[in-house]
Structures are given as structure tokens and as C-alpha cells.
């Protein structure tokens, strides 16, 4: 019997289970058995796995997280200081695996690329909530994250309006502002601050004041966690004020809220969405996209086409070499239609 392995690596994203389910269903139809490694590469290194029978994948389509578990940092080539790649090869051979499907972000796919180079056949499925992977037009989990952020903005709107406040929502997006732009558009934000467009507090405060003068003494600001002023690092330094852990003691959202309150005189509050963006049931859109990725990865495995990553390009699922995936972020085009649309209806990016 033919056999294929699968593992999920990096942060969880809504849709991981949909990929796994579609992969297993498609391979089962070809009588190919699927072995799931536990907790990302760690399971491959340590030989922890389970056979993914039909029962294992029953009912998982609407569920968040990953039934396989994941791991953020484990790397077979530097596993707690050791190169454990040979253990991976040994486990794969012992199980008779033809290849291993890796569902993961840039880090996990870079590891997969090295595995392929050193002779362990792998197939990649791209994953990042942030939607900033260079090789693919859209990643699963992103639509869900945008939906959750939009729902949060709907909630903050009523408080902002009732209290005449500036409500700041900090969303994910360290290197690219996709979630911020999409949820800001969908949630009726007044300003959207993203890494791609450095902002000044003066411009944001001007937008808030302009609204107040027009009889709307409240504003909604969406801030990607990677948003920055033209001076960049300065912001972070001011924010953390003697702390050694900027992420934990108030990020960019807190900074923006604190400063806007001082500059506009309007009460300002920050909400950091954090982990709420990546948990829970995927949207219909993400379930379909994730299923398509899983099926496409299965087709590659069936046809013994290794070293490729399945990607979405112009609405079609296709594939590109794993080694071409990494190293480049896909930013929000600053002159693209989304940003222009946002500006066209009066949303400020804090740059003027």
C-alpha cells in the first residue's frame, strides 16, 4: 500500500483541518494511506505519528486549530542544537512514506526545501494568517481573520459612537497590512495604519479632528502590529519605556491610542485582537480554499511530483518549486486598488 505523511507547522490558522481532511479524502480514494506526524517537525524527528483513518478526520471541517498539533520553532536541522535530519529520514523510510506534505508558513516551508535538497521528498501547502506569502495570491485563514477583526470593529463602533471616543484596534500583520486594510474597509475604519505606509500621529490626529468638526466626535483606527512612523524604531523605543519586552507591555496600538488621546483630547482606547484572530471555526471561504489546497497537494502526491508548493494564482490552484517560496514578503500594493478604494471613501493611512 502506498503511504504519504503529513504535518502542520508554525502558528495555527483556521482551515488547517480542512486541508488535512481534503488531503486524506483524496488520497483514500486512491488507496493511499496517510500518516500524520504530531506537533510539526517534532513528530517527524521523534517518530510520533498516527494513522489518519476516516474516523480521525470525521467532523473536523468546521473546527479551528489542527488535529495533528503544531510547533512553532522545531527544526530538524537544528533541533535543540542538534541536526536530527537523519532521524526524519529514518522514520519516513520505516513507515514506507513516499513523501511528506508540510502545511506551514515561510519557516516551515524553508525547512521543507532543505529536506528536499537533502533527499527527503516533500510537498508544501502555504499557511499564514497574514496573507503575506510571496508565492500565492491568498492563504487560508486570512478571510477568517478579516471576518473576526471586522466583527470586532462592528462592536467597537457602538462604543465609540456612544462614548465619543477614539477606538484603536490592533490586528496582526508584522510585515504586511492585509488584515488591517481589509478589515478596516469592511468595518468602516476612519484610519488604517500599515507597515507599507509609514504614518505620522499628526496626520491621524488631523483625521480625528476633522471628523469631530464635522459632527462625528468619534473615530475608529485599525493598526497592523507592524505599523510604523517614518522614524520606525523610535516608536517602539518610546512605547516600551524601559521594558525588555515590547510585545508584552503595550504595542503599537497602545502607543497610538495614548498619543492620540493627548493630541486630540478625546478619550482613546486600544483593543489588541491577538489570538482571537487565529482560533475558531474557519469561514466558508477559507474552508473551500483550504480544501482546494489539500486536494491539489494530494494530486501532487498521487503523481509523485515532489519539491513543489501548491499556490493560488489568478483564481487557479497551481504549484511552484518550494525553494522559490521564501525570503520575500508580499506587501499590500500601496498604489493598488484596495488602498486607492480606501482612500477614495475618505480613509486615512496617516501619511498626509
Name the residues annotated as catalytic.
130
Taking CB under 8 A as the criterion, which residues in 196-235 touch its own copies?
A: 214, 216
User: Using CB under 8 A, which of 6, 26, 44, 172 touches its own copies?
Assistant: 26
Q: Give φ, ψ of 218 to 5 degrees.
A: -150, 155
> If binding is defined by CB under 8 A, does position 2 make contact with its own copies?
no
The set of residues, in sequence order, having a beta carbon less than 8 Å from that of 94 and lying 6+ positions away, is: 47
Residue number with CB closer to its own copies (69 or 331): 69
What's the gap between Cα 277 and its chain centre?
9
Which is closer to its own copies, CB of 116 or CB of 287?
287
- Interface segment toward its own copies; rule CB under 8 A; list 44-52, 107-115, 117-125, 157-165: 157-165
SS3 136: coil
DSSP strand pairing (191-193 vs 308-313): unpaired
Contact present, 185 and 341 (Cβ < 8 Å): yes
- Nearest distance from C-beta of residue 7 to its own copies, angstroms: 12
Binding to its own copies in span 107-136, by CB under 8 A: none
How many residues of this chain bind its own copies (CB under 8 A)?
Answer: 89
Find cell 496582526 and name the residue. 172
Q: Shortest distance, CB of residue 226 to its own copies, whole angstroms? A: 19
CA dist 236 and 135 (Å) reads 30
- Is 38 within any annotated ligand binding site? no
Contact (CB, 8 A) for 166 and 264: yes
DSSP 11-30: S--TTHHHHHHHHHHHHHHT
Contact segment (CB under 8 A) with its own copies among 45-53, 76-84, 191-199, 343-351 equals: 343-351
Of 89, 114, 236, 295, the one binding its own copies (CB under 8 A) is: 295
- Pick the closer one to its own copies by CB: 39 or 229: 39
Query: Pick from 119, 213, 233, 314: which binds its own copies (CB under 8 A)?
Result: 314
Query: Which listed residue (33, 132, 143, 225) binds its own copies by CB under 8 A?
Result: 143
Q: Which residues contact 150 (CB under 8 A, 6 or more apart)?
A: 182, 183, 186, 187
- The annotation status of 269 as a binding-site residue, yes or no, is yes
* 9 annotated as ligand-binding: no
- Provide the minimum distance between the beta carbon of 347 and its own copies in the complex, in angstroms, as a whole number: 9
The residue within the footprint of its own copies, chosen from 53, 164, 174, 237 (CB under 8 A), is 164
Helices (H), the chain: 16-29, 41-46, 85-94, 106-117, 142-163, 178-186, 201-213, 233-240, 252-264, 284-302, 337-344
Angle between helices 284-302 and 142-163 (to 10 degrees): 160
Please tell me whether residue 280 binds its own copies under the rule CB under 8 A.
Answer: yes
* Binding-residue pattern over the window 60 to 89 for its own copies, x denoting contact by CB under 8 A: -xxxxxx--xxxx-----------------
**Helix axis angle, 252-264 relative to 233-240, nearest 10°?**
80
**Gap between the Cα atoms of 52 and 218, Å rounded:** 52
When binding is defined by CB under 8 A, the residue of 258, 323, 334, 351 that contacts its own copies is 258
Of residues 114 and 236, the one with the C-beta less far from its own copies:
236
Q: Which residues are annotated as a binding site for substrate?
A: 128-130, 165, 172-174, 225, 269, 275-278
Amino acid at each position: 500500500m502506498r503511504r504519504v505523511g503529513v504535518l502542520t507547522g508554525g502558528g495555527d490558522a483556521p482551515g488547517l483541518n480542512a486541508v488535512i481532511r481534503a488531503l486524506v479524502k483524496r488520497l483514500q480514494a486512491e488507496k493511499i494511506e496517510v500518516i500524520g506526524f504530531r506537533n510539526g517537525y517534532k513528530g517527524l524527528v521523534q517518530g510520533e505519528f498516527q494513522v489518519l483513518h476516516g474516523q480521525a478526520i470525521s467532523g473536523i471541517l468546521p473546527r479551528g486549530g489542527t488535529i495533528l498539533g503544531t510547533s512553532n520553532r522545531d527544526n530538524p536541522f537544528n533541533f535543540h542544537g542538534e541536526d536530527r535530519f537523519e532521524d526524519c529520514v529514518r522514520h519516513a523510510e520505516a513507515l514506507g512514506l513516499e513523501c511528506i506534505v508540510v502545511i506551514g508558513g515561510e519557516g516551515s516551508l524553508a525547512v521543507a526545501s532543505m529536506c528536499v535538497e537533502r533527499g527527503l521528498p516533500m510537498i508544501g501547502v502555504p499557511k499564514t494568517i497574514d496573507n503575506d506569502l510571496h508565492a500565492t495570491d491568498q492563504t487560508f485563514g486570512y478571510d477568517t481573520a478579516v471576518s473576526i477583526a471586522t466583527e470586532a470593529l462592528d462592536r467597537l463602533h457602538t462604543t465609540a459612537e456612544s462614548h465619543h471616543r477614539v477606538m484603536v484596534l490592533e490586528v496582526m500583520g508584522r510585515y504586511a497590512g492585509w488584515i488591517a486594510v481589509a478589515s478596516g474597509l469592511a468595518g468602516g475604519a476612519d484610519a488604517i495604519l500599515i507597515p507599507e505606509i509609514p504614518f505620522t500621529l499628526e496626520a491621524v490626529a488631523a483625521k480625528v479632528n476633522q471628523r469631530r468638526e464635522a459632527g462625528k466626535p468619534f473615530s475608529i483606527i485599525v493598526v497592523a502590529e507592524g505599523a510604523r512612523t517614518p522614524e520606525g524604531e523610535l516608536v517602539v523605543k518610546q512605547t516600551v519605556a524601559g521594558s525588555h519586552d515590547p510585545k508584552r507591555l503595550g504595542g503599537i496600538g497602545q502607543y497610538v491610542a495614548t498619543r492620540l488621546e493627548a493630541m486630540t483630547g478625546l478619550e482613546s482606547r486600544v483593543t489588541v485582537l491577538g489570538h482571537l484572530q487565529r482560533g475558531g471555526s474557519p469561514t466558508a471561504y477559507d474552508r473551500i480554499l483550504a480544501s482546494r489546497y489539500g486536494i491539489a497537494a494530494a494530486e501532487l502526491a498521487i503523481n509523485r511530483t515532489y519539491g513543489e508548493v501548491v499556490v493560488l494564482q489568478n483564481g487557479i490552484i497551481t504549484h511552484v518549486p518550494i525553494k522559490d517560496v521564501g525570503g520575500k514578503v508580499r506587501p499590500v500594493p500601496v498604489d493598488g486598488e484596495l488602498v486607492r478604494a480606501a482612500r477614495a471613501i475618505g480613509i486615512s493611512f496617516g501619511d498626509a
